[in-house]
Amino acid sequence: MLTKRIIPCLDVKDGRTVKGIRFKNLTDAGDPVELGALYSRAGADELVYLDITASHENRNTAAELAKEVAKELNIPFTIGGGISDVRQAASILQNGADKVTVNSAAVRNPGLIDELAHAFGSQAVVVAIDAEDHGDHWQVYVSGGRIPTERKLLEWAREVTSRGAGEILFTSMNHDGTKSGFALEALQQVCESVPIPVIASGGAGTMDHFREVFSQTWCTGALAASIFHYREIEITDLKKYLIDHGINMRI
Instruction: State pLDDT tens for residues 131-157.
Output: 999 988 999 999 878 899 999 999 999
- Domain tally, the chain: 1
Could you tell me the residue range of the domain that residue 236 belongs to?
Answer: 5-244
Which of the residues 11, 45, 98, 176 is marked catalytic? 11
In a domain, 249, yes or no: no
Which of the residues 51, 98, 130, 176 is marked catalytic? 130
In a domain, 250, yes or no: no
pLDDT above 70: percentage of residues in the chain: 89
Q: Residue 102 — very low, low, confident or very high, per pLDDT cuts 50/70/90?
A: very high
For residues 209-226, one letter each, b for 16 or more C-beta atoms within 10 angstroms of the residue's C-beta and e for the rest, the string is: bbbbbbeebebbbbbbbb
Per-residue confidence (pLDDT) for residue 53, from 0 to 100: 63
Of the listed ranges 87-91, 108-112, 176-180, 247-251, the least confidently predicted one is 176-180
Work out the burial of residue 133: count CB atoms within 10 Å of its CB; fewer than 13 is exposed, 13-18 middle, 19 or more buried.
middle
pLDDT in tens, 1-29: 689 999 998 888 776 666 654 444 555 55
What would the DSSP string read from start to end of 165-180?
-SEEEEEETTTTTT-S
In a domain, 109, yes or no: yes
Examine the residue annotation and report whether 130 is marked as an active-site residue of this protein: yes
Examine the residue annotation and report whether 11 is marked as an active-site residue of this protein: yes
Query: Side chain identity at 137, as an amino acid letter?
Result: H
